[in-house]
Amino acid sequence: METPPPTTPRTEPTDADVEAFKQQLGRPPRGLRAIAHRCPCGQPDVVETAPRLPDGTPFPTLYYLTCPRAASAIGTLEADGVMKEMTERLATDPELAAAYRAAHEDYIRRRDEIEELTGFPSAGGMPDRVKCLHVLVAHSLAAGPGVNPLGDEAIAMLPEWWRKGPCVTVPNESGTTEEDAK
C-alpha cells in the first residue's frame, strides 16, 4: 500500500451509515455506537460497538471492521501466514511485545471508558498472540497510526481497497445515489 487511509474523526452513525453497514455485512448492526473510521471512499469501514449487546450479552470487540473489500484483503494476509509470523516475532522481539501490550492496554482502556468488562480479553489475541488481523487493523484505523504496531503493519501490507470506489451504494438524504447523479 502506498499511503494508509487517513484517520477520521469518530462520528455518530447516520441512517445512510446504518444502511451501508447492513449492505456490507448483510445484517443490521448490533450495539452500534459510532463510526470509528471512514474509508477514503466515504463509507464506514470501522464501527465502534457497545461492550454489551442490547440483550446484555458481553461483546468485547470494541472496533469492528465492516468493509468487505478490506476484510477480504486481510483474509488473504491471514491465509498467507502473517498472523503466525507476527506471533513468532512477539516471542523474540521484546520491543514489539511491549508495544503490542500497550496496544492491548489502549484497547481495554477505550472499552472500559464505555463499560468495564472485567475478566474479558481485549480482542484479536492481544496481548500475547495474533488471532485476528481484522481486529488489529480496525483498532489501528480507529485509534490512528502508532497505537497498534501489528495493526499498522497489516495496513501497510494491504492493497488500497478503496481505489475502486465505495464497496456499497447507499442513497443519500434525497434518495439518490452518487451513481444516479452521474
pLDDT in tens, 119-178: 888 899 999 999 999 999 999 999 999 999 999 999 999 999 999 999 999 876 555 444
| Segment 24-79, tens digit of pLDDT | 999 999 999 999 999 999 999 999 999 999 999 999 899 999 999 999 999 999 99
Rounded Cα–Cα distance for residues 139 and 49 (Å): 12
pTM of the model: 0.90
